[in-house]
Structure 1
């Protein structure tokens, strides 16, 4: 693995890097080892700053290790008398307080991929004490910004609020979504594959300790006002992470360790720098599982199955291009919708996935559309590697154009994991990119016709 020699150390200090930043430098060295293990050139343009970006994302996403919930709660408690309990419960003391729909993310301790969390917090004040509502969100985020699994996350939030506020009870309900993993090749070949593995967990103290209590019933009723149907999963952390749902997870881990020991050691170093103990029972297999995820993008061999499809590169005579009729009927344009894809962001080493829509104008003399398996193989070929969405869109368009001529338009709609785990940290955001070639680049009516053919709500999968 890379290391910080004396010259590097002195150079960084001269450039204003403080001692506390050495941890980031160690993580960057570890990321370079991962990129080299993938067979990438760490000096190429798109990857030069990837180690820095990945290190920054990990540090931002696990900053909860440097925070204490009690520091947030202290100073945020306010007196609120409420009504006498003999009359009824209302306001602060004795009345239920609920904060709904807190969007959080956390890194899964089993595979290091980020997972989404919809958090609902409820508590019943006592002792004439209420806490500022924003602090419920901030305390929840302290524990989310660590390597986690759903049940422990719920328990830690619940315990911290109970200890800090000392209410009659605290209730936590988490709805968590994790990308499915690791059978990626079968995923790509199964158009009906569910992208997300979902679970719901609860934790309660005091009057919420019994999930069948009236207090829980009130909380669930308030959540239903928001249109949620709460279904508690029958299982908890044992099968939460899809990386552990495999015929033989231990065999996968052993194979990964044996073949990629430097990469596994690099991930172990990252976990250590984040402030965790890599020898903790729940983390023992994490480096191997993360490396297995990364290597699947290198080891999967998707070919563009052009041969035997009835088409070949440059089949269309360029001289015929200007002889095509002006678009006027649906027969002259074909649109292939919702071609699924998975890819790995080369800027952050995080997955993104979604759908591809391809439109093209039939060349003169061609009346049959390109077979969908051909288009899907093109999408997989360019998608299943380190990528950026803009390049992926262009490569698909250029390849289809080489088969049919210039008149091609491609739209890629994708959900990026990095959008929830760093930066804007927004759930539900979706990125669309467009590539236009030939007539589509000059004819607004052709582009409009293509866009009209894309159904509403297609988006990422």
Structure 2
């Protein structure tokens, strides 16, 4: 079937299922799932229930099934059967701070140190400023329930002849990070908890936060950044005045490590306070009440109060985000996408006839954990003599977005894009590389922020011609993951 003069409308998709893909492409694109696609980016072994609080876990699993059914999904299909359990484990792990108390962490970790008096801290460094830098944490956004990354810098000035074990600064910060948060609230809670727990001369906390930012299915993906950044600070004691000289010492010690701190013209630390940093969609619109009630039950199972002010709109915002990957009438625009003619006229073809389109952004949702992943797609195809000239960039973007906006795994997404491009050029030679950052790699206890995953699909000549593969791979630019 020729795709060059038609626009195919994809309707009533069953998200992530190959059976629906077959009918809408009118070709055989069966989704032959293999064992490699059964696992997410970390290939972790699933454990049975037992280590979790059983009541809370069961409540979350039931709610996740409601959400999946609200998306039109079959919760019994391979790839989704254990998704409710995976999500429950991730959420309970990521919010374990609700069951932890700061006093249990610090009470046995205060050690005597002579020369440290209340309000005095400059004798040979004893009693002076103590900083632990670059603590990488993650938290769930109270506004939308999506994870965000935190680089935490915390310092204090000891007093009363006592110092705190350094690892406890990290542990206290993690207690509050493992709750539903926004940056300023997190900074304040860490600061005040340390101030109350160890009674120092002062505490300083600076957070550099990055929140994943995804477009909605009907928005222009090129207008969106992958991350939104915010800085938050909090101080107590002698750090209570943001303009105090001691802040200069604190910031100077951070700059030694390359930490960039935003200052305004008055050299005052800049921050935005509140929930406004969350890039969740401002217009909620009609929402499935059954799905919002399911999210409400998840919040309760985590130990939260869904009626507190910061959480009042959270269920609707999360459902709005999730239904971004629901069944939509998404049009994959292929009309006039391929022009016949000499490949020599193509601006994107090399001497081997390899045409390429690089850095096409994509956004998707991991079907194993209901956590987002995003990155770029690189597509290469070989032009024959007098054959395909070039596929328009908008056509390739349409293909990528169509397959991306559904519950997915990266390996399947890679293959589906490659097969669609191959069909578009009449069964030609195609190579597709996807580079992605998976949110599940910074959550669920793994916390490998900055890691990325690359997958490759090759069809036709690319599977046997190492020179063609090499030329295409050499053309791919460096992939930048988020670095806050």
Conservation of the 8 A alpha-carbon contact between 1:106 and 1:116:
yes
Aligned to 1:60: 93
* Cα distance in 1 between the residues matched to 2:307 and 2:105: 30
TM-score (norm 2): 0.82
**In structure 2, do the counterparts of structure 1 residues 43 and 103 end up closer, same or farther at CA, with 3 Å as the change threshold?**
same
Residue 242 of structure 1 is aligned with which of 276, 279, 283?
A: 279
Q: Give 3-state SS (helix, strand or coil) of 2:330's partner.
A: coil
Conservation of the 8 A alpha-carbon contact between 1:83 and 1:91:
no
**In structure 2, do the counterparts of structure 1 residues 329 and 203 end up closer, same or farther at CA, with 3 Å as the change threshold?**
closer
* Cα distance in 1 between the residues matched to 2:271 and 2:134: 22
Aligned to 1:349: 370
Aligned to 2:106: 73
**Residue 224 (structure 2) pairs with residue 193 (structure 1):** yes
* Cα distance in 2 between the residues matched to 1:16 and 1:30: 16
Conservation of the 8 A alpha-carbon contact between 1:207 and 1:215:
yes
* Cα distance in 2 between the residues matched to 1:160 and 1:222: 23
Aligned to 2:123: 89
* Cα distance in 2 between the residues matched to 1:339 and 1:159: 45
* Cα distance in 2 between the residues matched to 1:48 and 1:31: 11
CA drift at 1:83: 7.2
Conservation of the 8 A alpha-carbon contact between 1:339 and 1:357:
yes
Matches within 5 A, 1:330-345: 330=351, 332-345=353-366
Q: Give 3-state SS (helix, strand or coil) of 2:76's partner.
A: coil
Residue 448 of structure 1 is aligned with which of 464, 470, 482?
A: 470
Aligned to 1:325: none
* Cα distance in 2 between the residues matched to 1:291 and 1:391: 25
Cα RMSD (Å) of the superposition? Answer: 2.4
CA drift at 1:181: 5.5
**Residue 416 (structure 2) pairs with residue 388 (structure 1):** no
Matches within 5 A, 1:46-195: 46-82=79-115, 88-93=122-127, 95-180=128-213, 183-186=216-219, 189-195=220-226
Task: Encode CA deviations 1:202-233: one digit per residue, 9 max, x unaligned.
Answer: 11011100111111110101111111221154
Matches within 5 A, 1:209-224: 209-224=240-255
The more displaced of 82-91 and 357-366 is 82-91
Aligned length: 421
Conservation of the 8 A alpha-carbon contact between 1:185 and 1:300:
no
**Residue 399 (structure 2) pairs with residue 366 (structure 1):** no
CA drift at 1:458: 5.2
**In structure 2, do the counterparts of structure 1 residues 116 and 199 end up closer, same or farther at CA, with 3 Å as the change threshold?**
same
Task: Encode CA deviations 1:372-420: one digit per residue, 9 max, x unaligned.
Answer: 1111100001001100000000000111111223411110001111111
Task: Encode CA deviations 1:79-130: one digit per residue, 9 max, x unaligned.
Answer: 112478999434442x110111101111111111111111000111111111
Conservation of the 8 A alpha-carbon contact between 1:170 and 1:208:
yes
Conservation of the 8 A alpha-carbon contact between 1:410 and 1:435:
yes
Aligned to 2:303: 275
Q: Give 3-state SS (helix, strand or coil) of 1:36's partner.
A: helix
Q: Give 3-state SS (helix, strand or coil) of 2:222's partner.
A: coil
Q: Give 3-state SS (helix, strand or coil) of 1:45's partner.
A: coil
* Cα distance in 2 between the residues matched to 1:135 and 1:87: 21
Matches within 5 A, 1:247-262: 249=283, 252=284, 255-256=286-287, 260-262=288-290
**In structure 2, do the counterparts of structure 1 residues 458 and 452 end up closer, same or farther at CA, with 3 Å as the change threshold?**
farther
Task: Encode CA deviations 1:273-315: one digit per residue, 9 max, x unaligned.
Answer: 000111111111111110010112215543221233246xxx9
Conservation of the 8 A alpha-carbon contact between 2:133 and 2:254:
yes
Unaligned runs of 5+ in 2: 1-47, 263-268, 342-348
* Cα distance in 1 between the residues matched to 2:61 and 2:116: 57
* Cα distance in 1 between the residues matched to 2:431 and 2:327: 30
* Cα distance in 2 between the residues matched to 1:19 and 1:342: 31
CA drift at 1:331: 5.4
Matches within 5 A, 1:13-28: 20-28=53-61
The more displaced of 439-448 and 51-60 is 439-448
TM-score (norm 1): 0.86
Unaligned runs of 5+ in 1: 1-14, 317-327
Conservation of the 8 A alpha-carbon contact between 2:221 and 2:361:
no
Aligned to 2:322: 294
Q: Give 3-state SS (helix, strand or coil) of 1:391's partner.
A: helix
* Cα distance in 1 between the residues matched to 2:305 and 2:178: 16
* Cα distance in 2 between the residues matched to 1:18 and 1:459: 33
Aligned to 2:337: 309
Q: Give 3-state SS (helix, strand or coil) of 2:218's partner.
A: helix
Conservation of the 8 A alpha-carbon contact between 1:182 and 1:242:
no
* Cα distance in 2 between the residues matched to 1:332 and 1:89: 72
**In structure 2, do the counterparts of structure 1 residues 386 and 33 end up closer, same or farther at CA, with 3 Å as the change threshold?**
same
